[in-house]
Chain A
Amino acid sequence: MLRRRKIVNGVMLSLTGVCTVFVVGVLFIILGYLFWNGARYLSVDFFTKLPTPVGESGGGMANAIVGSGKLLLLATLIGVPFGFLGGVYLAEFGTGIFPSMVRYMTDLLNGVPSIVIGIFAYGIVVAPMHHFSTLAGGMALGVMMVPIALRTTEEFLRGVPQSLREGAMALGASKARTIATVVIPAAIKGILSGMMLDLARVAGETAPLLFTSLGNTFWSSGWDKPTAALPVMIYTYAISPYDDWHRQAWAAGFVLLALVLLVNVVARLVLAKTSHA
């Protein structure tokens, strides 16, 4: 009986190790395959040329890279201020039922599938304007950024010890001044890392762009025209029947993933160093 229990013990514990190896293995396969394929098909053209017409080979994704940049800029301009200041509110002024409701709504909004956010942006921006635009895409991404930006800000501000606030206020600083000059600087590292992670997350989002910024085979000037974006190009090219487009999709995937992972690793390492519960 004891022997059987010992055998079960050994087998089950080994199985848990197998599960771990499996999961980590999948990670390495994903990264490895993508980087191998992506690096193979990467070229200078990729970064500098526009896409060629359907079916023709060659060309690149220069417009998608710029387009993604514009969309993310807009998303940041929308998402960060609202998220950051909202987080300040919850951390510094927030007790009672209203802040609790705000927190609940934030988590709610965070859980909304990105495609539904896309529908929302469609209704708010695209439908009234009667055409797709960078503005709509940027708005969708910005809305997606707010919940995480808010929660991150709140969390890190809360982590600042109360004694710091009291010290400043005892010297005569007003609450606003204390927050601006003492509390926020103390938490800034964590907040910035959180924002970076947030940005990396929306950088890879495709669904909300499908019917907001749509796509564009040319350069998109200004903010009121549809624009190409890296994730959307990956999608479009991957499901197409053209080999050349598949190759470009790999290259694009490589670039996107490299950027996203780089930001993630850096932000997390910075976060790990900050004393953070």
Chain B
Amino acid sequence: MSSATEPEIIVGSINQEPLTSSGSAPKQAETIKLSTDRLNFHYGSYHALHEISLSFYTNRITALIGPSGCGKSTFLRTLNRISETIRHTRIDGRITLDGEDVLALDVTNLRRRVGMVFQRPNPFPKSIFDNVAYGVRVNGLARGTSVRDVVEKSLRRAALWDEVKDKLHQTAHALSGGQQQRLCIARALAVDPEVLLLDEPCSALDPIATAKIEDLLFTLKDDCTIVIVTHNMQQAARVADNTGFFLMGKLIEFDQTEVIFKNPAAKETEDYITGRFG
């Protein structure tokens, strides 16, 4: 694996052989917020992820792309250890958050710092207000009136405030699919996460709702490091600073988005981008 002495874009590879990309020197010094080092993942005896080494840069949006079943969602779910809710799974290797070993951290605390938005909107059977406030209350992050401030702030960040400010105490299920997903984003933002993981957040939404969420991500990255799994390549090209391409549980290539899409180093990447499969 190639790496320089300064933090720079690291390119993963199939057979552990370095694979250089062309002209990929970063424009400014980047810090790594979250990274994995030789991550392996097993479902029972099935080896789902192989030696994934990858870095997510602070305040950047990283997209993970690849065909169905390539492991990108599985990988995402190891980052906040939500994969542990399924029995007989095993993570081997290192995951590091700000230099700390994620696997050794208290998992409840970790999940507050690394938030997740799911593929299908999954608001709780509570009011809009209580949905957003849930994480705040359960973690004891604010009390009384300040809860309301946090809720408003989060709904504004999720570009949903104007649409719901008059019906905060109505049930979340009265909202449309796109609104519910933005609500889930607001809910995740309310606990002020350092990293936000999004697992194909727009796959159940129409194009207009999708566009709203993509716009949202640009504003969010200033406060947050974002990792988004998507099987929509155009989406990755639109929003992501860096992109990683997964295939069959392995990270084939990782680079600036421009490079991945215009000048990919690996043949598999090129085949996928040009639509020869997946």
6 pairs from A and B in contact (CB 8 Å cutoff): A1-B140, A2-B106, A2-B108, A2-B109, A5-B108, A6-B108
Contacting residues, chain B, for A1 (C-beta < 8 A): 140
CA distance A6 to B139 in the complex (A): 11
The interface residues of chain A lying within 8 Å CB-to-CB of B108 are 2, 5-6
Interface residues of A in 1-59 (CB under 8 A from B): 1-2, 5-6
1/0 per residue, CB under 8 A from A, across B121-151: the answer is 0000000000000000000100000000000
Q: Which residues of B contact A (CB under 8 A)?
A: 106, 108-109, 140
Considering the chains assembled together, what is the distance between the CA atoms of A48 and B77 in angstroms? Answer: 69
Q: Which secondary structure characterizes the binding site on chain A?
A: helix
Kindly list chain B residues whose C-beta atoms are within 8 Å of the C-beta of A6.
108
Residues of B with C-beta under 8 A to A2: 106, 108-109
Expressed in whole angstroms, the Cα–Cα distance for A44 and B72 within the complex equals 71
Closest-CB distance, A58 to chain B (whole angstroms): 59
Q: Which residue of A lies closest to B138 (CB)?
A: A5
With the chains together, A60 CA to B106 CA distance in Å? 67
Docked complex Cα distance between A6 and B109 (Å): 11
Q: How far is the CA of A1 from the CA of B138 in the complex (A)?
A: 10
Neighbouring A residues of B109 by C-beta, 8 Å: 2
Chain A nearest CB: distance from B107 CB in Å? 10
Q: Please give me the 6 A-B residue pairs with the lowest Cβ-Cβ distance, nearest first.
A: A1-B140, A2-B109, A2-B108, A2-B106, A5-B108, A6-B108
What residues on A are CB-neighbors of B140 within 8 Å?
Answer: 1
In A134-184, the 8 Å CB interface with B consists of: none
Residues in B with CB closer than 8 Å to A5 are 108
| Distance of A254 from chain B, by nearest CB (Å) | 41
Cα of A55 to Cα of B133 in the assembled complex, Å: 72
> In the complex the two chains form, what is the Cα distance from A1 to B136 in whole Å?
13
Complex Cα gap A98–B106 (Å): 60
Chain A residue at minimum C-beta to C-beta distance from B112: A2
Which A residue sits closest to B141, measured CB to CB? Answer: A1
Give the distance to chain A from B251, nearest Cβ to Cβ, in Å.
34
Closest Cβ–Cβ distance, residue B80 to chain A (whole Å): 17
Complex: A2 Cα to B140 Cα, angstroms: 9
Tell me the complex Cα distance, A5–B109, Å: 11
The distance in angstroms between the C-alpha atoms of A260 and B109, with both chains bound, is 52
Bound-state Cα–Cα, A167 to B190, Å: 58
Q: Once the chains are docked, how many angstroms separate the CA of A245 from the CA of B158?
A: 76
A1 CB to nearest B CB, Å: 5
CA distance A80 to B106 in the complex (A): 60
Across the interface, name the chain A residue whose C-beta is closest to B106. A2
A5–B140 Cα gap in the complex (Å)? 10
Chain B residue at smallest Cβ distance from A4: B140
Please measure, in the bound complex, the distance between the C-alpha atom of A5 and the C-alpha atom of B106, giving whole angstroms.
Answer: 12
Instruction: Provide the bound-state CA to CA distance between A202 and B4, in Å.
Output: 80
Q: How far is the CA of A5 from the CA of B138 in the complex (A)?
A: 9
> A85 → chain B, closest Cβ, in Å?
43
| Min C-beta distance of B81 to chain A, whole Å | 16
User: Please, how many angstroms separate the alpha-carbon atoms of A185 and B109 in the complex?
Assistant: 58
CA gap between A2 and B106 in the complex, in Å: 10
Shortest CB-to-CB span from A6 to chain B, Å, is: 7
**Bound Cα distance A107, B157 (Å):** 52
CB distance from A126 to the nearest CB of B (A): 53
